[in-house]
Amino acid sequence: MRWEGLFADLEGQLAAEERRELDSEVAERTRRERALVDLTGRLAAAVGTSVTLRLEGGRVVAGTLTDVGDGWSLVAAPPREVLVPHAALVVLEGLPARADPARTARRFGLGHALRALARDRATVAVDLAGAAPVVGTVDVVGADHLVLAEHPDGEPRRRENVRRLLTVPFGALRAVESRR
C-alpha cells in the first residue's frame, strides 16, 4: 500500500512536470508566432471594422477601415475617405487581437495609391506634418514625393484656380482626405 501511494505521487509529479513543459512550449510558440505578425497584417484583419487612428500631430481619423496596402490604410469617415500613411500612425484602436492569414493587404505601396488619386484628378485635403492642411489636386507622384496643385476647395483644378504648386515628401504626409 505504501508503494502504491509513492508510485501514484511520482506519477502525479511527472504528469504535472509534463503539463508545465507543454504549457511553456505552447507559450513560447505563441510568442514566436506573434513576433512574426506585422502591423499591416493586423490592419488587414480589421478591414470592414470600425477603427480609430491617432496620427502624428494629434489628428484622429475614426471610421470603417475599407482597404489596406503596403504602408497605407484607407478609412471611410463619411462623407469622406481618408488615406493614411502608416508612417503617420501613433496609436490604433479597434484592431483584432490577431492577424487573419486569409486576409492580406494589397501589395502596392503608398505611391501607387496616390497615383490613382492623380489619375482621378480628385480634389483632396492633404494633412501635413508641421503645417496646415492644403487643398488641391495631386498632379504628379514621384518615387518619394507628390506635387500638389493648391486651389480653393470646391473649385476644379484649372490653371486660373491654382494658387501654387507644392512638392510634398511622403514622409511629411499625415493624411490625404477626399473632398467629394
> Tell me: the pLDDT tens digits for 9-19?
888 888 888 88
Average per-residue pLDDT for the chain: 91
Radius of gyration of the chain (CA): 25
- What is the spatial distance between Cα 69 and Cα 43, in angstroms, rounded to a whole number? 9
Count of Cβ atoms closer than 10 Å to residue 155 Cβ = 12
Q: What is the pLDDT of residue 111?
A: 96
- Identify the weakest region by mean pLDDT among 59-63, 99-103, 133-137: 99-103
Q: What is the pLDDT of residue 155?
A: 92
- Tell me the whole-structure pTM to 2 decimals: 0.81
C-alpha angle 88/93/96, rounded to 5°? 115
Residue 154 scores a pLDDT above 60 = yes
CB 164 within 8 A of CB 150: yes
State pLDDT tens for residues 134-144: 999 999 999 99
Residue 150 scores a pLDDT above 60 = yes
Residue 152 scores a pLDDT above 70 = yes
- What is the spatial distance between Cα 53 and Cα 111, in angstroms, rounded to a whole number? 21
Residue 35 scores a pLDDT above 80 = no
Q: What is the pLDDT of residue 97?
A: 82
Domains along the chain with CATH numbers = 37-180 (2.30.30.600)
Q: How far is CA 180 from CA 29, 49, 121, 125, 172, in A?
A: 48, 23, 11, 11, 23
Using a 10 angstrom Cβ sphere, with 0-12 exposed, 13-18 middle and 19 or more buried, the burial of residue 42 is middle
The residue with greater pLDDT, 11 or 27, is 11
Residue 26 scores a pLDDT above 80 = no
